[in-house]
Structure 1
Amino acid sequence: MMSSDEAADSCCASCGIAECDSTKLKKCTACYLVRYCSVKCQREHRPQHKKACKKRAAELHDEKLFRQPESSHFGDCPICLIPLSLDRSRRNMLNCCSNIVCDGCSYANDLRQLEERLESTCPFCRQSTSDTNEEAELRQMKRVQVNDPVAIREFGLARYYEQDYTHAFENLTKAVELGDVTAHFTLSSMYRAGQGVAENKKKEIYHLEQASIGGHFKARHNLGVEEFQNGRIDRAVKHWIIAATTGDDASLDVIKRGYGQGFVGKEDYAAALRAHQAAVNETKSPQREAARVAEQNGEMSALDPWK
């Protein structure tokens, strides 16, 4: 025997017709609570369903928004498979294949090529490295032409930093359509500052949320600031804890100050500290430490004349 919930789920919420071979019911795509036999029935039932629909849709949205990502949006180095550092100086963007590799793998590759007197090649795809900026740009454009989201995003970012906001917006929007998280974050900044587009708070928050769901730690931190400024302290703290758990120093610093000021609990503070340290430790390796030491000692320039 079906439960009352199962019985309700097998009938149209508006007219009550049961599902059968000739009648297929579709769930409300906003809340997934009820089913309808037609668009007409869905529209007619909207007044009765609207309140419960909005409440459940908001709950589903928050479940997705506050889910802890497995890692930051950078993911793992494709060579050593260790999580990439959030520190920009500790990773390298490869224009030939649009991969991002850690400084440890880049350094190990440079050493190997020097010791074996090999031609300088990409540590991932093994293409010859670009000798000039012009050649690097040509390679990037080839990646753009095959709809590589990373290359399109990087091209858009280059236009953004040149303050060519029209072409920046065009390319970043295309990168977003292809699923790029960093493009979402940059578009949020453009909507906030009105750079090439009209200022739009709703779209700013939308792109911040999409970037956060994708693991962008700066977007998550900014969402926390936004919630805090609007008086939603609990939501702000949730965002900062998630960002700190991916290794974000700025969010951990806010949590520390929040603990001192009394709006972050002791357990949350302690858990954030442990999770932050664990995330940082996960990005360490002997190769990366060797690269850091070599950079401090000025040895990198001897390996790469372009550095």
Structure 2
Amino acid sequence: MASQDRDLNRNDLSVGTEVTIVGLKSEKGKIHNGKIGVVSSPLDPTTERYAVKLQDGEKMLSIKPSNLRTKNSKNTDDKKLNDLEMKYLYENRHDMVSKLMQFMEFSGKFSGQRAPDNPRLFEKAPPQPDCEICMLPLPLSRLERDFQYCCGKSIPVVESKAMARCLKRHMKRGNANAFTIMGECTYRGTEGFRQDAAKGKELLEKGAELGDSAAYGHLGDIHADVDRDAPKAMKCWETGALMPVPNLHSRHRMGMMEWDLLGSTERAVMHWRVAAGRCGYKKSMTSLMEANKTGHITKDDLSATLQAYKESVDSMSSLDRKRAVEIRNSGIFG
């Protein structure tokens, strides 16, 4: 045990001990991580560092004990890591079994039930509707257009009670968006609304019935994350993704479902390319970047999608909108 402690502390390394350099964080130091050297002098009590001579040359480095590993200490550290891994697996075994059962449940429900693709599923998405004020395509996020700013204009709804009154007036007129927003707030208990999942889901279903694509996105999330019903979730997301004003969250989650639970990485990439390249959806572009790291999308396809993504984002950008965001973030309007 005493020798093991010495290895862990590394404060008594003798001259001539072979060591590996690890954990250097400075720009100059990083290049030496992983290199092997030999301790050439005892620990300097002033600087608390060892002089280490690299094996690949005459260069001498001054290194802290915590950045040095000996063969024995590496074995000890590996053992500690293995012990921690086993402890984590044991403590989280129930959660891991639950996740495995969830995967099997999702896959089992979907196995053999995939309906033929809608011929429009991977066609070019329709363009975003134009803002009636600035005549540029509307921002993708509703938070940037419905109850906040677009080109410096906004609907003055800041308090939850005022928001509820406004939504109820629009709901009486059959406004699908109002049902969806009220449903989401009620389902989650946000914006000062009392949480009621059943009522919230009912309002979302009404919003979907009236033709709001975002309602289908929320319902798909509920079917996937709460009901554990993959076919229903995919059906909702597909409907939302194919509406005249498509719900890009739905398209993105279809890709996530294909990637994570159904094992169809090719279809996942196709969904993300539609959302990112044709509609400028940032989350899907990020997913494509990650897919590129694992070789699931070619560099040419990624480059073409990135170019289309930038063009789509630029089409929704203007100096007025940038200024509006700055004003909103400054807190001038509370």
- TM-score interval for Structure 1 and Structure 2 normalised by the shorter chain: 0.5 to 0.7
Aligned partner of 1:254 among 287, 293, 297:
287
Q: Look up the match of 1:224.
A: 255
Is the alpha carbon distance of 1:157 and 1:295 closer, same or farther for their aligned partners in structure 2, counting shifts above 3 Å?
A: closer
Alpha-carbon distance between aligned partners in 2 of 1:257 and 1:238, rounded to the nearest angstrom: 14
Query: Which residue of the partner structure matches residue 68 of structure 1?
Result: 124
Name the residue aligned to 1:8: none
Q: Which amino acid aligns with 2:124?
A: Q
Residue of structure 1 in register with 2:229 after alignment: 200
Q: Deviations over 1:176-232 (max 9, x none)?
A: 1111111001101111233xxx44222111111111223222211111121123222
* 2:316 matched residue in structure 1: 283
- Tell me the matched-pair count: 211
- Picking from 299, 302, 306, the partner of 1:266 is 299
Is the contact between residue 191 and residue 200 of structure 1 (CA under 8 Å) also seen in structure 2? yes
Change in Cα spacing, 1:184 to 1:81, as seen in structure 2 (3 Å) is same
- Give the TM-score normalised by structure 1: 0.62
134-143 vs 264-273, greater mean Cα deviation: 134-143
Amino acid at match of 2:237: L
Structural mapping, 1:1-307, within 5 Å: 58-59=116-117, 61=118, 63-71=119-127, 75-87=129-141, 91-94=144-147, 102-106=149-153, 122=155, 129=156, 133-162=160-189, 163-194=195-226, 198-214=227-243, 215-229=246-260, 230-245=262-277, 246-295=279-328, 298=330, 301=332, 304=333, 307=334
The answer for the alignment partner of 2:10 in structure 1 is none
Report SS of the residue matched to 1:58: coil
Identical columns (%): 24
Q: Does structure 1 conserve the Cα–Cα contact (< 8 Å) formed by 2:138 and 2:145?
A: no
Question: Aligned-residue CA RMSD in angstroms?
Answer: 2.3
CA contact (8 A) 2:252 2:284 kept: yes
**Unmatched 5+ stretches in structure 2:** 1-114, 190-194
Q: What is the TM-score when the length of structure 2 is the normalising length?
A: 0.58
Larger radius of gyration: 2
Partner Cα distance (2:272, 2:159) in 1: 41
8 Å contact kept, 1:80–1:105: no
Q: Which runs of 5+ in 1 are unaligned?
A: 1-56, 95-100, 108-121, 123-128
Greater shift, 80-89 or 157-166, is seen at 80-89
